[in-house]
Amino acid sequence: MFLAGISLPAQTLSFLDSSQAGVSFRGMSAAPDGSVWVSGSRGTIGRSIDKGQNWVWVNPAGFENRDFRDIEAFSSQTALAMAVDSPGVILRTIDGGATWKVVYENNLSGIFLDDMAFRNKKEGICVGDPLADGRLVMIKTSDGGESWTETGTEQRPLVETGEAMFAASGSNAAPHPDHKNAYLLATGGKISRLWMVFPFQPSKMPTAIPLPIQQGQQMTGANGITISGRYVMVPGGNYLDPNRSDSNYAVMYKNHPPQLFELAGGYKSSIADNGNGIRIACGITGVSMHEGPFPPYPNPWKIISAEPFHVVKAIPGSNFFVLAGSRGRIATITF
């Protein structure tokens, strides 16, 4: 149901009725077939096959009180949903969300899963905050998430005290755009770094480079990774001082050190790139847009809405974006 529309130069932000007013959404995935899935608190998972206009809502039995911070969809029928802690769980559906199967469960003390990332419909990883040994959690799958195995201990990044990952938008991991066997992980907190890991190559150890964005406090640092061709975009900031935008966004090209840029509008947790020269970023401070060639010059980011959202995705092959956030808020941006 259409609730409201805000006309902007060349784009329209429209709010949709999700009927899930008490849910906070942080997970979202746009599948190649155009379907969109969202996940969030209160064990809530939603699926739309018409670009977000209508949703089917489910609460997998036995997981009604869990927080699904990430979801990875391969089609309108097949998806994985990740519940973060106590225990960390991954569920899988092959019938559009009608039924769900537990494909991974971790009961270790301190477990907190943050994100899943897939290179294709078969190969992917799931990562989480450091355990007592100081290393990030990292598991892998080669069969589309039907089964998961632990990576070697030394393949898991050994992080500094106060360095972890944020499950802010289900996007703190991504396949490396230049190395087919590598994945990128973004950490934050007291230290914010971009890690390169090799979960499918046991002989290769993790490497890390510092990110030039805000860090040094518990709620500072990177919040996600978005790949645009051979560019890596990392949004972030300070969740407790969200209006600062002087050091909330870094961009890396190939193996060059990440460069710092300004992303107008302050703290951001998610960026989507439609591949056609339009990028949308969102966070608790609102929504910003970047048009034109990449990297982010000569055109600056511009604020297009003060409405808060946690996550944004682009529908593949279109000028259509879907956003979601707290209080069950779901919106679309069309061009």
pLDDT at 4 over 50: no
Q: Report the pLDDT value the prediction gives residue 9, as an integer from 0 to 100.
A: 47
Lowest mean pLDDT among 9-23, 40-54, 122-136, 179-193: 9-23
Lowest mean pLDDT among 258-262, 292-296, 324-328: 292-296
Nearest to 93 by CA among 110, 72, 123: 72
Q: Taking the domains of the chain in order of start, what are their residue ranges?
A: 2-334
Lowest mean pLDDT among 73-82, 122-131, 284-293: 284-293
pLDDT digits (tens, 9 = 90+) for 242-251: 998 889 999 9
pLDDT at 3 over 60: no
CATH 3.40.50.1980 for domain 2-334, yes or no, is no
255 near 239, Cβ under 8 Å? no
From residue 86, give the alpha-carbon distance in Å to each of 59, 109, 147: 18, 8, 20
198 near 206, Cβ under 8 Å? yes
pLDDT at 17 over 90: no
Nearest to 269 by CA among 216, 312, 320: 312
pTM over 0.85: yes
Residues facing 136 on adjacent strands: 130
- Count of helix runs (H) and strand runs (E) in the chain: 0, 32
Mean pLDDT of the chain: 93
Q: Report the pLDDT value the prediction gives residue 1, as an integer from 0 to 100.
A: 30
What is the number of residues in the chain? 335
Q: What is the mean pLDDT of residues 157-170?
A: 97
Q: What is the mean pLDDT of residues 127-154?
A: 97
Q: Report the pLDDT value the prediction gives residue 6, as an integer from 0 to 100.
A: 47
pLDDT at 11 over 90: no
CA distance 320 to 278: 10
pLDDT at 68 over 70: yes
Q: Report the pLDDT value the prediction gives residue 294, as an integer from 0 to 100.
A: 76
Q: Report the pLDDT value the prediction gives residue 296, as an integer from 0 to 100.
A: 66
Q: Report the pLDDT value the prediction gives residue 2, as an integer from 0 to 100.
A: 33
272 near 279, Cβ under 8 Å? yes
Q: Would you state the structure tokens that stand for residue 193, as one six-digit string?
A: 């770094």
SS3 216: coil
Q: Report the pLDDT value the prediction gives residue 255, as an integer from 0 to 100.
A: 82
Q: Report the pLDDT value the prediction gives residue 254, as an integer from 0 to 100.
A: 86
Q: What is the mean pLDDT of residues 3-29?
A: 79
Q: What is the mean pLDDT of residues 164-180?
A: 96
pLDDT digits (tens, 9 = 90+) for 195-238: 999 999 999 999 999 999 999 999 999 999 999 989 999 999 99
Q: Would you state the structure tokens that stand for residue 167, as one six-digit string?
A: 């499950």
CA distance 25 to 221: 21
